[in-house]
Amino acid sequence: MGPRVTKAVVSFEGIVKRFPGVTALDGVSFDVSAGEVHALIGENGAGKSTLMKILAGAYRADEGTVRIDGHQVQIHGPEAGRSLGVRMIYQELTILPNLDVGRNILLGREPTRRGLVDWRALYRQAQAILTELGLDIDARTMVEDLAIGEQQMVEIARALVGNPKIIVLDEPTSSLTRSEEEALFDLVRRLKERGVAILYISHRMEEIFLLADRVTVLRDGQWVATKPIGDVTEQDLIALMVGRDIDTSAKAPAHDAAPVVLEVRDLQAGPRVRSVSFAVEAGEVLGFSGLVGSGRTETALAVFGAEPHSAGEILLNGDRRTVHTPRDAIASGILYVPEDRKGLGLVLIHTVAENLALPSLPRFETRGLLDRKGERRFVAEWVEKLGVRTPSPDQQIEFLSGGNQQKVVLAKWLALGPKVLILDEPTRGIDVGAKAEVFRLIREIAAQGVAVILISSELPEILRESNRIAVFHQGRIAGELDAEDASEEAVMALAFGQDRQTGRPQMDASP
Amino acid sequence: MTDAASVRRFISRSGIYVAFAIVVLVFSLASPYFLTVTNFLNIGQQTSVLFVAAFAMTFVILSGEIDLSIGSLAALVGVVIALLLTQGWPLPLALLCGLAVGLVSGLISGSLTVIGQIPSFIVTLGMLSALRGISFLLTGSTAVPIESDAMLEIFADAEPLGIPVSIWFAAGIFVVLWVVLTRTRFGAYVYAVGGNAAAARLSGVNAVRVKIAVFALAGLVTACAGILLTARLGTGLAEGARNLELDAIAAVVLGGTSFAGGRGSLGKTVMGALLIGTLNNGLTLLNVSYFAQLIIKGAIIIAAVLLDRWTRGNR
C-alpha cells in the first residue's frame, strides 16, 4: 500500500499553541493527502487533541498556518470547519438517541420546501447516504434501538453530508466489538476510495498497521516523525512516542502452584452468565478473555456483588462467602477495578485524596469522628508508594492523566490489603508508557500473593500478563489455556465457540 | 497576568463575599439605620429560620437530590406542636413529637426516592402538597396560638448575652452539622454519593442508606426550623413557611454549592442565606414595595449564578 503521490488536502505548517504554563503544540508540520489514511499517534498530552481542535475550529493557533487544498484558512468555530470540509468523529458519540437515524444524519441540514421540513426528501437523502456506505440500516430506525457499532456508523454517515474533504476519527473502535470493528475498517477503506483524507487517531497498534498509509508521531507537543507505515515496526512507533525504548514483550513471571484463594462454582447471573466455574491461586494472574458480551465483565460484577447472582457459590480460602453487595465483597477482600474508570471507578469532581481514602475511611474513625490528619498522612504515603504524579493530593482527579487516575484506583484498593483483585480493562485509554507502569504494578501485586483476575480485550496484553487464561463464550468458560501453550489463534478459537480439537463450532446446549 | 484575569480569579474564589460587600455598601449609603449592631442582630433573627432550612437543603443538594417539602414540613411541625400544647401536653413531649414528624417525613421522602426510585423532585413535590394539606386538615385553617410561655421565651424572646436566642440556635445547629459534614464518615459519604453514586457504591459505600439518612436528617433539621418559626410567630399556622424551600434553595445555590451534588459547603450556605436576609432587610428599610422586592431578589439570584458561571467557565 505505500504512500500515494497526491496533493495535500490538509497541511499543518509550524502550528504553535500555548496555554498558560504549557506549550501544547510547538511547531507541528505535516500534511494529509486525498485518499490517504493518516494515523496520528502519541501519548496522552502529546498534543493530538489540541491539533484536532485547531482543525475543527474549537481553538485558534497562536502561530503557523493551516491550509486546506493549498489555501490558507482561518477556522473560526465548528461551523466554519464544517463548511471547509472538515468532519470530526469523536470517541463519544454525538448523535441523539431519541431521534431516528435520518433526522440525526441531516440534523441542522434538513431539506425544506416552502419553509417547512420536507420529510420525504430527508429520509430519501439519508437512506442514500446509508446505502452508499453499504450500511443495512433503515433511516427511520430510532438510534437508541441500534447497537453501539451501528450508532458509530450513523455518526460517520452524518459526517458525509455536504462535501467532506477530511474526516478525523478519534479512537473510533474504543467501544466496538470485533465484528463491528471489521465493519468500521471496511467503511474507512470505502471513504478512502472516494478520495476523502482520513486522519486516524488511535492507541491500538494493530489497527494502525491494518489501515494507515502513513503515520505521524507527536511527543510533548512536538512533531517527531511522519513515515510510511511500511517503514516502521510497532517497537519503532512506541520508541518514537515515548522517546525511549519500552520492552512490551517480556512475559509475566511464571507462577508456581499455590493454595487456591478464590473459587467460583456454577455462578449464574442475569442473561450473560449462565454457568461459570473457576479458581485462582495466590500470586496467580488469571486472564479472562472472550468477546464483548461473552460474560467476562458480568462474571466479575457478580463476584464483586455489584450485580446479583441467581445461583452458584463463591469460596474464599475454602470458606463460602455471601456476596450480595460490593460492601460484602470488599469486607472479604475481593476488590474490583471497573473498566469505566471515569464513570464507576472515581468521583471525578473530587480530589485525589478524597477518592483514594474513600473505602479506607472506617479505619480513621474514632468515637464517630474522622482523624483528618491521619487520613492525609495515609494519602500522602500511598501517592508516594505508587508514584502518582499529581501537583497535590488536593488536585481534582479529573485533571490527572488516565494512567495516574488508574494508579489512584489501584492505590485505594491496595490500601485495603486485597486477597483477590479483579481488573477490568485496566489499561483502557491509557498511553503506552503508563500502560507498562500499570502492568509493573499488577505484577508486583501478584508477587505479594494476591490472586489477580485480569479482564482484557487486547489479546497480546492478556497473553503476556496472565499465567492462565479462561476464555468465555456465551456465558460459560469455553476453555482454559496455560500461558505457555496459549496463542492468539487458540484464544480466538475458544472465544468464537470452536472446539479446540476439531476446529468445528461447538453446539450450545442451552437456548 | 492581566488585572482582569486576577480580578476574575478573585471573584471566582470569593464571589459571594464580594456580592455581600456590595449589598452592604449600597444599603449603608442609602439608609443611616442599616449599618448598626441592632439592625444586624435584626437581620440575624429574621434570617435564622432560613439559615436552618438552608442547612437542611445543603445536605440534600450535596447528596445529589432536592427536597421541595421543606416549607410545608416546617409549617406542619409548628401546627402539630401548637395543637399538642392546646391539648395540655407538656412542652418537651410536644417538641419531641414535632421533631419526630420531621424525621418520619424525611424517612418517607428518602425511602420513596431511593428504594422506590422516583426522582426526589417528584417525591418531594408530592410531599409539599400532602404535608400542607395535612396542616390545613388538622387546624381547619385557623391559627393555633402557642399556649406555652416557656416555648416563646426559650425559642424566640430570650436574648442570652444580648443576642437573640434564635441566632444562638442557628449557630448551634450550624456547628453540629458542620462537624457531621466535615469530620464524620457519614459526611464524607454524602459528598461521595452526590459526586458519583455508582462509584461510591463500588467503593463500598451503602449509597441507599446514606441518601435515606440525608433526607431523615434534613427532615429533623427542618423540624428545628419549624419550631423557631412557630415560636417567633406565636402561633401554629397551616399556611406558614410558604416558599421557605425556594429561599433555602436560593441560599444554597448563591453560596455556590453545585446543584448536581458532591460539591459545596455549609459555610457557603451561611453566606448565601445572609445575602438573602440582608436583601430582605435592606429593601424593607428603603421602603421598597414587597412586589418590587420579589423582582429584585429574583434578579440578584440569577445574576449571582451567572457571575459564578462566567468566572468558572473561563478557567
Residues of A with CB under 8 A from a CB of B: 304, 306, 325-327, 330-331, 336, 338, 343-350, 354, 357-359, 361-362, 365, 368-370, 372, 412
Residue A338's closest chain B neighbor by CA?
B202
Contact B192 A347 (CB under 8 A): yes
Residue among A326, A350, A354 whose CB faces B202 most closely: A326
E-state strands within A446-504 = 451-455, 468-473, 476-482
E-state strands within chain B = 144-145, 235-236
Which residues are CB-contacts of A265 (< 8 A; sequence separation ≥ 6)? A277, A312, A313, A315
pLDDT at A167: 92
pLDDT per residue rounded down to tens, chain A (511 residues): 444 445 789 999 999 998 776 788 999 999 999 999 999 988 766 888 889 989 988 888 999 999 998 889 888 888 888 888 999 888 777 888 889 999 999 988 888 888 898 999 999 999 998 888 778 889 999 998 888 778 888 888 888 888 889 999 988 877 677 777 888 888 899 888 888 999 999 878 888 999 999 999 998 888 999 999 999 988 888 788 877 665 556 777 788 888 999 999 999 998 889 999 999 999 999 999 987 778 899 999 999 999 999 999 999 999 999 999 999 999 999 999 998 888 899 999 999 999 999 999 999 998 889 999 999 999 999 999 988 888 889 989 988 888 889 999 999 999 999 999 999 999 887 877 788 888 989 999 999 999 999 998 888 888 889 999 999 988 899 899 988 878 877 887 788 776 544 444 444 433 3
Partners of residue A331 in chain B, C-beta under 8 Å: 204
Which residues are CB-contacts of A250 (< 8 A; sequence separation ≥ 6)? A464
CA distance A11 to chain B (A): 30
Residue among A348, A350, A369 whose CB faces B184 most closely: A369
Among B289, B232, B192, B40, CA closest to A359: B192
Contact A358 B201 (CB under 8 A): no
Residues of B with CB under 8 A from a CB of A: 179, 183-185, 188-189, 191-192, 195-196, 198-206, 258, 262-263
Which of A350, A356, A378 would you mutate first to test chain B, the one with the most B CBs within 10 A? A350
Average pLDDT over residues B308-312: 65
In B87-202, which residue ranges form alpha helices assigned H by DSSP? 91-114, 120-139, 149-152, 165-183, 185-195, 197-202
Partners of residue B206 in chain A, C-beta under 8 Å: 325, 327
Which residues are CB-contacts of A311 (< 8 A; sequence separation ≥ 6)? A266, A267, A268
pTM of the model: 0.78
Give how far the C-alpha of residue A501 lies from the chain's centroid of Cα atoms, to the nearest Å. 33
Virtual torsion, Cα B94, B100, B101, B105, nearest 10 deg: 170
d(CA A403, CA A417): 21
Which of B63, B193, B202 would you mutate first to test chain A, the one with the most A CBs within 10 A? B202
Lowest pLDDT segment from A182-186, A312-316, B15-19, B211-215: B15-19
d(CA A106, CA A127): 11
Q: Is A37:A196 a contact under the CB 8 Å cutoff?
A: no
Nine-digit cell at A106?
Answer: 441531516
Task: Give the pLDDT band (50/70/90) at residue B55.
Answer: very high
Task: Give the pLDDT band (50/70/90) at residue B241.
Answer: confident
Contact A369 B188 (CB under 8 A): no
pLDDT at B314: 42
Nine-digit cell at B273?
Answer: 442565606
> How many C-beta atoms lie closer than 10 Å to residue A460's C-beta?
14
Which residues are CB-contacts of A125 (< 8 A; sequence separation ≥ 6)? A105, A106, A111
Partners of residue B191 in chain A, C-beta under 8 Å: 347, 350, 354
Lowest pLDDT segment from A492-496, B135-139, B166-170, B290-294: A492-496
Residue among A306, A348, A357 whose CB faces B202 most closely: A306
pLDDT at B146: 85
pLDDT at B11: 59
Q: What is the ipTM of this complex?
A: 0.83
**Could you tell me if residue A473 is left (phi over 0), alpha (psi between -120 and 50 degrees) or otherwise beta?**
beta
pLDDT at B76: 96
